[in-house]
Structures are given as C-alpha cells and as structure tokens.
Structure 1
Amino acid sequence: MAALGQGGVLQELVLGAGQPPDPGLSEEQRQARQEWEALEEIQSGLGGTSGAAPPPISFSEALQHFQSAELPASRGKVRAPGRRGMLAALLRCLRGPPRLRPQLRGEQELALAMAQCALDDSEWVHMRILQTIYRQLTCSRLGCPRYGAHWEELGFQGVDPGTDLRGTGMLGLMQILFFVLDSRTLPLAREIFQLSQHETQNFPFCIMSVNITRIVIQALQEERLSRECNRRQQVIGVLNDLYAAAFLRLSRLWEQQHGTVADAGFFLKELELSTKKKPKQLLKSLEAYLSRGLQPPSLPSSQIHFTNICDPGVELEGDS
C-alpha cells in the first residue's frame, strides 16, 4: 500500500471510499482505493459485510441476554442429575455432597442451557462476545472477520471458533469472556495466553479453555459444587471462579513440568481429578493468588522468560 503514503492520497481515498470508480483517478490511485476499502472490511470485524465493528460487551450484559432468552431448544437438552435409590440417598446424607438448594436450580439450568446453545452468526450478542474476546486477548482496538486464521492464533483449531464449542456451547465463550474482562483475572488470562505462545511450551489457549469448561460442567452435573454454590448462594459465579482456578492450576503445572502439547491429555486428566475431588482447594488457591494482587515473581535466568504480548495500557473496560 505504498500509494497510501503519498501526500493527500490517503485523505482523498478515505472520502471517496465506497463510491463508483472515478475515471479521473490514475491506475495507481484506483489500486490504492481498493486496498483501503479491503482494509476497512477487515477492520469492521464482520468479514466483508457492511457496518461498524461490534461494540464490546460486558459479562453482565451478555449474561442478561441469556437470562432473558428462552433458549427452548437448549433447555430441552439439559440433563439434570439422575435419581438415586434409597441406599445412595442414605450414603449421601452420611458422607456425600449436599444437594443444590431449590432456589439455585434455575441458575444451574441456565448454565447448562448455555452449554447446549451453539454459536449463532445471526445473534448480535454472540458476535459481540466473540469480538470482545479477540480484542481483549490481542489488545487490538479493531474488530476482526468472523472467519479466518486469526482465530487459530488465539488457540482455536480452525478458522471457525464455533466448531470447537461442541459440549460447552456458549458457556465455553462466556467463561473466556469472564476471564478476560474481570479486572481480577485479566492479568492471569494474559499471562496464560503468553505461555500458550511460547516457542516450545505452546498450547492452543482457547481449546484448552474449552476443555476446562467441559470439566467444570461435569463437576456441576455430578453435584461436586453444590456445597460451594449453596454457601455463596450462586452457581455461575462459582463456575467462573472454578474455571479460573483450574486454568491457574494448569498453567502452574505446565510451567513447572515444562509441559508441551504432547502432555496435554495427562495435565487435563489431573486437572479433572482436582476439579471434581478438591474444588474448594482450587478455589482457595485462586483466592490466594488474587489477594496478592501481584504477578508471579521473576524466574531465575536459567528458567523460562516470557515477554509482554501487548501494550497493557490498551484494553477494554472489564467487570469488577
């Protein structure tokens, strides 16, 4: 786009963008205009359709959308915990986790319905969630096309993030959204994203995130989280904190044991056991990490170092 650097040409092409070809323009100027219009399409975040980039969305606004949506197809797929016999009920009373309180069942159903809700290109809120995740992780002020290799750079398997959400649905994206918008967890999210880009210890960030959401969903369905949900009188907040705690645990194991993609199955299996058997311990570890309010201490020179992936000053507003 060398022609755009010539005096006066850039301004002329911006004002004339989207208009019919001007016969008075030189071939070089026409080519420059076409390149500029193509750049505008990329920046729009809509993959070549007209319109501005979707505005960022907060976690609370996105959650309100799902709370107000009926999600009939998704709710119909929700599998509630199965009924137990008398012996199982007796054992539960003696040593098992408590049942989720009735007043929290609606929130549990909402979480599981979101996990059954597919990413929908026609849902404006879905697109805003996707774009906000992209902008927060890359620190970009611009949007991005709906499909493209840029999603692989974030750790999806292909050009369409929607194909990686089977089993977690929109809850998989909602948990990433929480992770990158909450001011407490954003530094941790970016730290883990940096680790995922490491030359030898890299891993697909978003695919790993989806796997963690899947583990959290299983823990909820198996009523491993009922005690904590009852104590805090909420479900989705517990799910999000457990997700962040599990990601923290995974990143520490990955760093300490010099994990690679080949080790992912082993680490996820260990994480699944920890999440289901010791959720309270994981949550305490996250609480301790966040209460320090500090980044992890610098590693000795003999160990791994990571550099910042973006200017920390360029970020969206996150939920507190």
Structure 2
Amino acid sequence: ISFTEALQHFQSTDLSECRQKVRATAAGRGHGLAALLCCLFGPPRLRPQLQGERELALAMAQCPLDDGESVHMRILQTIYRQLTGSRLGCPRYGEHWEELGFQGRAGGAKRCWGGSHWSHSRLSGGIQGQRKGFGHRRTTGWLRLEKPLELTFPFCIMSVNITRLVLQALREDRLCRECNRRQQVLAVLNRLYAAAFLQLYRVWKGQRQTLADCDRLLKALELATKKKPRQLLKSLEIYMDR
C-alpha cells in the first residue's frame, strides 16, 4: 500500500471515538496556572488551518489494529516487507514478528502496529526514503545491530518509543513553530520521527551503546524532540542530501 492511499483511508474513516479521546485529553490539560503560563510564555499556537490535521494525527495514534480491516493488514504487510526486504507477505501471527524484535507469536503484529500513526510514520519513512536511498538497505543495517550481543539494538521497540515522543511533542504544542513554518503537520511528524531515529542510530552505533543505555538515550531524544525539533530536522535533511 502507498503512503497516500493509507492516508486517504484514515482521512475518510470515521474516527469520531478517537477524536473524542483527543479532545478530552486536550480539555484536561487546558486549565489552571500551567495553562496560563503556557499561554503567556509557551510556544506559538498552531495556525487554525492546521488544527484539523493535528487532530487527525492524534486520532490516528488512538486507532487500534483491526483484523477485519483490509487496509490495516496491508499496512502491516508493507511495513514487514520494508523492514525485511522480502517480496513475500507474512501471516498475521507467527515467529516472523519476533525476528523483527516484537515478542510473542500472537501479539507481535499488534505491537508492530503500535497505533496507526506509528505505522503510518514507518510507511512514510520507508516509501519516501527509498527514493533517497534511506529505505531497506539502511533499515537492515539497523536490524543487523541486533546480532552482536554487546550491540543489541531493540529496533522495533525503540521505533514505538520514538513515535510516543514525537506525538507527545505535538500534544504539548512543541512543534507548532515548525508546523506553521512548513504549513504541514503530518509531514513534520513523519520527518521528525525519521530524524529522531537517525540520531538514535548514530549515537548507538558510534558510541557502542547497549540495552542498559536505552532509558538515557530516550530521555535525550525526548528533550531533543521538544526543545530542538528544527535542529533534528535539519540534521535529517543534510543526511538525505548526501
């Protein structure tokens, strides 16, 4: 499935329940002294014409995997092929998900889904990245880091965690300036996801990090996605233009 087709599916799907959760969360954060301080000293507000795209992105993150929805299954199949380089599909259940770093024969695909926005980010990064040489070859390079014991790299679990960090930055309005500047929300999220993953990969490989360093690395990425998103995005652009 293509990135565009997947996006069109979620744009046309009834996500009213997911949108209600997004609005309820926003309403819960919009009171008290913290809200006043954010209004006075916080980041700029997102432009009105981008609010709908922001809500869609956050609603997609709430969308559960549906075995009966063919588009969901096609997205999983596409992600699997991108990560492995396989031309063949894969069963919904099985040990092949464990090979990608997701534990459990039955739950691996659900963990891989990780909310449809993570899947969409992975889809975007793979399809668009292949045009720039950022697709399967580099992805398999990341996966190969899982092989030596001392360099065990939890590729897929870190992917889900990075999506969580990027979405949290969006919820807290830390990406408004970049979204306003680029007049996009989903594209900024997808690029920031790729940029954060690139930063993680460079540090992990260059400094020979291990599983014991995961918490520290995620905290550093959380700070970067909230405080320095433009710097991360610029680093990705330089890397892609090489």
Distance between the aligned counterparts of 1:87 and 1:152, measured in 2?
43
What are the residue-to-residue correspondences of 1:132-151 with 2, within 5 Å?
132-151=78-97
1:212 to 2:158 alignment: no
Q: Which amino acid aligns with 1:232?
A: R
Matched, 1:73 2:17: yes
Is 1:202 the counterpart of 2:149? The answer is no
Q: What secondary structure, in the 3-state scheme, does the structure 1 residue paired with 2:241 have?
A: helix
Could you say if the C-alpha distance between residues 197 and 74 of structure 1 is closer, same or farther in structure 2, counting changes exceeding 3 Å?
farther
Partner of 1:109: 55
Shift of 1:88: 5.5
Aligned partners of 1:204, 1:158: CA distance in 2, in Å? Answer: 15
Map residues 1-320 of structure 1 onto 2, 5 A cutoff: 57-78=1-22, 79-80=25-26, 82-83=29-30, 89=36, 92-93=39-40, 95-159=41-105, 160-164=107-111, 168-182=114-128, 183=130, 184=132, 185-186=134-135, 187-292=137-242
Secondary structure of the 2:225 match is helix
How many residue pairs are counted as aligned between the two chains? 234
RMSD over aligned CA atoms reads 2.1
Alignment gaps of 5+ in structure 2: none
Contact 1:178–1:240 under 8 Å retained in 2: yes
The code of the aligned residue for 1:170 comes to S
TM-score, reference length from structure 2: 0.89
| Residue identity opposite 2:100 in structure 1 | L
User: How far apart in 2 are the matches of 1:208 and 1:199?
Assistant: 17
Residues 32-53 of structure 1: CA deviation (Å, up to 9, x unaligned): xxxxxxxxxxxxxxxxxxxxxx
The percent identity for this pair of structures is: 61
Q: Is the 8 A contact 2:84 2:140 kept in 1?
A: no
Task: Tell me the CA shift for residue 245 of structure 1.
Answer: 0.4
Aligned residues of 1:188 and 1:248 also touching (Cα < 8 A): no
What is the match of residue 25 of structure 1? none
Distance 1:211 1:197 in 2: 21
Structure (1/2) with the larger helix percentage? 2
Q: Which has the larger radius of gyration?
A: 1
CA contact (8 A) 1:216 1:243 kept: yes
Equivalent-residue separation in structure 2 for 1:74 and 1:165 (angstroms) = 19
- Taking a change above 3 Å as real, the CA distance of residues 197 and 72 of structure 1, as seen in their structure-2 partners, is farther
Measured in 2, the distance between the counterparts of 1:69 and 1:172 equals: 17
Counterpart Cα distance in 1 of 2:156 and 2:34: 42
Q: Distance in 2 between matches of 1:196 and 1:72?
A: 39
Structure 1 Cα separation of the partners of residues 90 and 61 of structure 2: 25
- Quick one: distance in 1 between partners of 2:117 and 2:146? 21
SS across alignment from 1:200: helix
1:179–1:189: 8 Å Cα contact kept in structure 2?
no
Question: Which whole-Å deviations, capped at 9, do the CAs of 1:252-288 have from their partners, x for residues lacking one?
Answer: 1101221112221111111111111111111111111
User: Would the alpha carbon gap of residues 68 and 134 (structure 1) be closer, same or farther in structure 2, given more than 3 Å must change?
Assistant: same
**C-alpha offsets along residues 71-96 of structure 1, whole Å, 9 cap, x if unaligned?**
12212211327325689557645x43
